[in-house]
């Protein structure tokens, strides 16, 4: 039973290039979340997606960042024209359909993609 998969694990980009980060949720999970962990900071929520829908992107920077979760294939976090401040670890998490009685909708995290912008 594979966990959440993220690739690449490490990504180096020069300023102005594009970064594409991929996330394959756990089997049977239909909810995907992206978090960013800046150096010396806690994980910060960026976006919540279901298949073909962005549910909440309130944590995403307004410019240069976009996310998608197509009907087929992994979720993609795309950062255009990267800057040094984008250097961080980007974590994807997934969860199954919420089971009302259980309460907490546990999010399972992937190993992260570490983005370095030169």
Partner 1 sequence: QKEVEQDPGPLSVPEGAIVSLNCTYSNSAFQYFMWYRQYSRKGPELLMYTYSSGNKEDGRFTAQVDKSSKYISLFIRDSQPSDSATYLCAMSASSGAGSYQLTFGKGTKLSVIP
- Chain positions contacting partner 1, by CB under 8 A: 4, 6, 31, 33, 35, 40-45, 48, 56, 58-59, 91, 93, 95, 103-112
Closest contact distance (angstroms) between CB of 2 and partner 1 is 13
The least distance separating partner 1 from the CB of residue 22, rounded to whole angstroms, comes to 15
Q: Residue 59 or residue 66: which is nearer to partner 1 going by CB? A: 59
> Which residue in the block uniquely carries the two structure tokens 């279901």?
50
Minimum distance from residue 61 beta carbon to partner 1 (Å): 16
How far apart are alpha carbons 90 and 10 in whole angstroms?
Answer: 10
Burial (CB < 10 A; 0-12, 13-18, 19+), residue 14, is exposed
C-alpha span between 80 and 27 (Å, rounded): 29
């Amino acid at each position: 039973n594979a966990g959440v998969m993220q690739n690449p694990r490490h990504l180096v980009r020069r300023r102005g290039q594009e970064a594409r980060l991929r996330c394959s949720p756990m089997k049977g999970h239909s909810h995907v979340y992206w978090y960013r962990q800046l150096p010396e900071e806690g994980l910060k929520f960026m976006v919540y997606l279901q298949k073909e829908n962005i549910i909440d992107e309130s944590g995403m920077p307004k410019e240069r960042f976009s996310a998608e979760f197509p009907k087929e294939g992994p979720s993609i976090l795309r950062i255009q024209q990267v800057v040094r401040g984008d250097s961080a670890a980007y974590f994807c998490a997934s969860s199954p359909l919420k089971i009302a009685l259980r309460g907490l909708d546990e999010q399972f995290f992937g190993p992260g993609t570490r983005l370095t912008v030169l």
